[in-house]
Amino acid sequence: MGDMLSVKDLKVTFLNNRKEALHGITFSMAEGERLGLVGESGSGKTVTAMAISGLIERSNVEVTGDVIFEDTDLHRCSRSKLRSIQGPGIGVIFQEPMNSMNPLIKVGHQVEEVLRLHTDLVPEVRKKMAIDALDRVGLPNPEEIYNKYPHQLSGGQRQRAMIASAMIIHPKLLICDEPTTALDVSVQAKILKLLRELSDEYKMGILLISHDLMVVKQLCENVAVMYKGNIVEQGKTLDIFNAPKDEYTRQLMAAIPTRRRHE
């Protein structure tokens, strides 16, 4: 009730190998909430992100349970309804931006695409907003970047351009799947700071997926821990840091060097 996102007993089975990747996960997010989703490789974090954003190809999977985003059932609504939510309602940033950027289209045009699809803004305004967004994510010479192609950018620059293209429309919920894993530590810190600012400024909720508990701790008030397709523990980040209840969470914690634990 009153939740922005409510996920109930979500199960996802891939039809190609009959693999049940999610065994019935339940969690919710309030408006503006920042929730971290952590867990080892293969635990189901990306599948969760795909299922929540409606990006999972319906014909490839069997989904049961509910994903309710602001009163819309994302797995049973029409495709046009889903498309109207993707972008302004739910934005997504993935780990490897090369896969999500079109190599043939200039970076700036990709950044403003969501405005073209979902607003009546005229091209000059869209361009100005795209350059502002590129600037906001800390890219130098945003006017130049605007006219470049994805392969002309470094990995870190592409990742920031991806963030610009998701945040330009200030989605209600931004899903970030390992958004900083490929970046060096100083860029990573800047991006996390930017995400926090945007979230505070626009009451933008963030679902931050990371295998790095310290990254989650820096940004998220709440955390859910995944293990083999289940959420094994969830609650306030600080509580879980101070007193992990689940054995697997304790193992994840133990993997953090003591020095970093107090960051």
Ligand X SMILES: Nc1ncnc2c1ncn2[C@@H]1O[C@H](COP(=O)(O)OP(=O)(O)OP(=O)(O)O)[C@@H](O)[C@H]1O
Q: Is the dihedral of CA 53, 59, 65, 71 positive or negative?
A: positive
Residue with tokens 């950044």: 111
Stretch binding Mg ion (CB under 5 A), from 41-49, 116-124, 148-156, 192-200: 41-49
46 near Mg ion, rule: CB under 5 A: yes
Closest CA to 152 of 223, 103, 206, 212: 103
* Distance (Å, whole) CA 261 – CA 158: 30
Stretch binding ligand X (CB under 6 A), from 17-25, 126-134, 145-153, 244-252: 17-25
Residue 47 contact, options ligand X, Mg ion, none, Cβ 5-8 Å cut-off depending on partner type: ligand X
* Distance (Å, whole) CA 178 – CA 208: 7
Closest CB 6 distance from Mg ion, rounded Å: 22
Nearer to ligand X, 33 or 177 (CB): 177
- Written as one string, the DSSP assignment of 74-124 is TTTS-HHHHHHHBTTTEEEE-S-HHHHS-TTS-HHHHHHHHHHHH----HH
Helical (H) or strand (E) element with 174: strand 173-177
Q: For the chain, how long is the longest CA-to-CA vector?
A: 55
43 near ligand X, rule: CB under 6 A: yes
**Residue 90's beta-bridge partner residues?**
86, 173
47 near ligand X, rule: CB under 6 A: yes
Stretch binding ligand X (CB under 6 A), from 42-50, 132-140, 239-247, 253-261: 42-50
Dihedrals phi, psi of 107, to nearest 5 degrees: -50, -45
53 near ligand X, rule: CB under 6 A: no
Stretch binding Mg ion (CB under 5 A), from 42-50, 52-60, 138-146, 227-235: 42-50
- The residue count for binding Mg ion (CB under 5 A) is 2
44 near ligand X, rule: CB under 6 A: yes
Question: Which position among 41, 59, 78, 186 is part of the footprint of ligand X (CB under 6 A)?
Answer: 41
Nearer to Mg ion, 94 or 248 (CB): 94
Nearer to ligand X, 60 or 152 (CB): 60
Nearer to ligand X, 41 or 258 (CB): 41
Closest CA to 115 of 189, 57, 168: 168
Query: Binding residues for Mg ion, per CB under 5 A?
Result: 45-46
Query: Binding residues for ligand X, per CB under 6 A?
Result: 14, 16-17, 19, 21, 39, 41-47, 211
